[in-house]
């Protein structure tokens, strides 16, 4: 049988037949667009997909001449697709190969444009802390997310970002967090108890459970048929974020994602009006009553609240599902650490299978260290894009305004100079002494600087509650020698669902 040629270096290679399929789809899209423009009268209106481009965002800065990046070592990859598929197939391996070949500053071409990747804690601090306001998060994430998740906090910059972040932070103050903890205790306990003994695929089980907890703590809704519709919309939107075809054409991932967004906007707009008329203690009620401190202190506009809630639901739901699956895999492989976390949870809560009080969360230090180690090994967001608003220099390279710049969490988290034996699960890397001795930006799963994840304390609380309720009921095991194969994009997940065995304690 004749071997099919593949793109070199991919862990799950895309072959030339796949590229031909993509090329034909792109050409059909172009022909369809051209025919539509001939049939319709000229229009100055912005098309949906222009939300992700400079045409729909004239304030975005674009690199005037890509040849200005020629002096930076790197690769442009294949015609049309560049290095896109190599990156999508194996982001960690791709970053390792590029860094080994070209150093800590290199260029690639993905999703139709050149970008520069900066690797290392110093690069992370430069870009994420952004002391000199060089980098735009809006213009970095916008080409990927702006059609599906516009005006999420991650797609805002500077004063506007600060104002909305401060307004929304009301939802993460101690009293609301205490209420969320009570709700999560009930929902997680019921969901985990219903799993029972035996073998199951962990990833779909935890995904369903986190969706249920989001419905109650985020939205104040009981889990039901509506949640299935919302879940499909979320899945379609997240999958569309890294779809090769960037236009919302029928029968494409982006088309399904765009339809999912329409459903979400309609649903959340109606729910927002209900919450403003009759607020509860859920997170959406907190958002519904949020006000900016500048101006006249009016409530945030409806469309702004809806956009923020859609983005937050996506960010919170899929990232906790991914990171907790990674954690369970390593605890199942490392039974000594599973025993330590179980003993810690029992001591904090005062028994097995009982609620973990909000005031006891701070006692789960080992659980928090294990969570951080899981996030190091498999960060839910492997890289963070920005766009340079002005020229800057890093490691002797001049990088002009308009350049798309990425920093790589997956590359830094796997750097043996920072993390000896980086593939080994070792929560002791996160003792207070070890953290103090390490560069502050060597660990960046939640980003950094002004755009540090607003919900990180909620994510930590939810992880500790999951650890408590699962490990005080069950011993979790995997087959000896088992290692899952991971689908890296858009958010990492095990391709086989992570088969585990639960045994009652």
93 or 457, which is more confident: 457
Pairing of strands 135-136, 383-388: antiparallel
- C-alpha angle 140/373/460, rounded to 5°? 75
Q: Which two tokens stand for residue 238?
A: 């997240």
What number is the average pLDDT over the span 366-373? 99
- Per-residue pLDDT tens digits for 326-348: 999 999 999 999 999 999 999 99
How far is it, in rounded angstroms, from Cα 51 to Cα 74? Answer: 29
Q: Phi/psi of residue 19, each to 5°?
A: -65, -40
> Poorest-confidence range of 24-33, 477-486, 488-497?
24-33
Longest dimension (CA), the chain: 72
Cα dist from 287 to 13, 158, 159, 160, whole Å: 43, 20, 19, 16
Binding residues: 453
Sorted by where each begins, the domain ranges of the chain are: 1-45, 169-380+458-504
How far is it, in rounded angstroms, from Cα 491 to Cα 340? Answer: 29
Indicate the helix (H) or strand (E) that contains 337. helix 335-349
Cα dist from 284 to 9, 208, 410, 476, whole Å: 44, 20, 32, 34
Around Cβ 449, how many Cβ atoms within 10 Å?
16
- C-alpha angle 317/319/320, rounded to 5°? 70
What number is the average pLDDT over the span 54-65? 93
Which residue is listed with tokens 């999420």?
152
The answer to whether the CB of 202 falls within 8 A of the CB of 229 is: no
The answer to whether the CB of 189 falls within 8 A of the CB of 173 is: no
How far is it, in rounded angstroms, from Cα 157 to Cα 154? Answer: 8
Residue 175 has pLDDT above 70, yes or no: yes
The dihedral of CA 447, 451, 457, 463: what is its sign? negative
Helices (H), 172-252: 174-195, 202-213, 225-240
Task: Decide yes or no: CATH 1.10.630.10 for domain 169-380+458-504.
Answer: yes
The dihedral of CA 82, 85, 88, 90: what is its sign? negative
- Per-residue pLDDT tens digits for 277-327: 999 999 999 999 999 987 678 899 999 999 999 999 888 878 999 999 999
- Per-residue pLDDT tens digits for 22-42: 444 444 443 333 333 323 333
DSSP string covering 346-406, please?
HHHHTSSSS---GGGGGG-HHHHHHHHHHHHHS-SS-EEEEEESS-EEETTEEE-TT-EEE
Around Cβ 166, how many Cβ atoms within 10 Å?
14
The answer to whether the CB of 155 falls within 8 A of the CB of 141 is: yes
Binding residues for heme: 453
Around Cβ 432, how many Cβ atoms within 10 Å?
9
Q: Give the model's pLDDT for residue 138.
A: 98
> Poorest-confidence range of 107-111, 162-166, 262-266?
107-111
How far is it, in rounded angstroms, from Cα 278 to Cα 257? Answer: 31
Around Cβ 358, how many Cβ atoms within 10 Å?
19
What number is the average pLDDT over the span 379-399? 96
Cα dist from 450 to 154, 315, 316, 478, whole Å: 10, 17, 18, 40
Residue 45 has pLDDT above 70, yes or no: no
Q: Give the model's pLDDT for residue 295.
A: 64
């Amino acid at each position: 049988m004749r071997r099919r040629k593949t793109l070199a270096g991919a862990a799950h290679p895309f072959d030339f037949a796949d590229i031909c399929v993509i090329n034909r789809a792109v050409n059909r899209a172009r022909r369809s667009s051209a025919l539509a423009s001939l049939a319709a009268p000229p229009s100055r209106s912005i098309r949906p997909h222009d939300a992700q481009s400079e045409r729909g965002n004239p304030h975005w800065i674009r690199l005037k001449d890509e040849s200005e990046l020629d002096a930076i070592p790197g690769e442009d990859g294949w015609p049309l697709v560049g290095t896109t598929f190599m990156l999508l197939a194996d982001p960690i391996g791709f970053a390792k190969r590029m860094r080994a070949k070209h150093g800590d500053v290199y260029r690639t071409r993905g999703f139709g444009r050149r970008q520069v990747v900066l690797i290392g804690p110093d690069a992370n601090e430069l870009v994420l802390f952004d002391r000199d306001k060089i980098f735009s998060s809006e213009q970095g994430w916008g080409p990927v997310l702006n059609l599906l998740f516009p005006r999420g906090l991650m797609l805002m910059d500077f004063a506007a970002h600060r104002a909305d972040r401060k307004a929304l932070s009301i939802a993460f103050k101690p009293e609301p967090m205490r209420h969320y903890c009570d709700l999560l205790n009930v929902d997680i306990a019921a969901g985990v108890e219903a799993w029972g003994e035996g073998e199951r695929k962990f990833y779909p089980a935890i995904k369903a459970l986190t969706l249920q907890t989001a419905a109650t703590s985020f939205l104040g809704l009981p889990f039901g048929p509506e949640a299935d519709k919302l879940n499909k919309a979320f899945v379609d939107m997240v999958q569309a974020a890294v779809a090769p075809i960037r236009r919302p054409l029928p029968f494409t991932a982006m088309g399904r994602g765009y339809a999912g967004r329409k459903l979400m906007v309609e649903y959340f707009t109606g729910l927002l009006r209900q919450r403003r008329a009759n607020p509860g203690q859920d997170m959406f009620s907190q958002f519904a009553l949020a006000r900016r401190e500048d101006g006249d202190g009016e409530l945030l506009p409806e469309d702004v609240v809806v956009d923020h809630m859609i983005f937050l639901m996506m960010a919170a739901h899929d990232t906790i599902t991914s990171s907790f699956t990674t954690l369970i895999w390593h605890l199942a492989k490392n039974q000594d650490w599973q025993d330590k976390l179980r003993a810690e949870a029992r001591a904090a809560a005062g028994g097995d299978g009982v609620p973990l009080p909000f005031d006891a969360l701070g006692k789960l230090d080992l659980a928090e260290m294990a969570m951080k180690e899981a996030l190091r090994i498999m960060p839910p967001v492997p890289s963070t894009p920005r766009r340079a608003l002005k020229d800057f220099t890093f490691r002797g390279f001049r990088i002009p305004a308009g350049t798309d710049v990425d920093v790589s969490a997956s590359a830094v988290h796997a750097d043996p100079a920072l993390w000896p034996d980086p593939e080994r699960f070792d929560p002791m890397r996160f003792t207070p002494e070890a953290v103090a001795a390490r560069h502050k930006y060597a660990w960046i799963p939640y980003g950094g600087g002004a755009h540090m994840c607003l919900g990180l304390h909620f994510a930590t609380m939810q992880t500790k509650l999951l650890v408590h309720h699962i490990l005080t009921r069950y011993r979790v095991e995997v087959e000896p020698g088992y290692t899952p194969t991971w689908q890296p994009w858009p958010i990492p997940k095990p391709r086989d669902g992570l088969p585990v065995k639960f045994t009652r304690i």
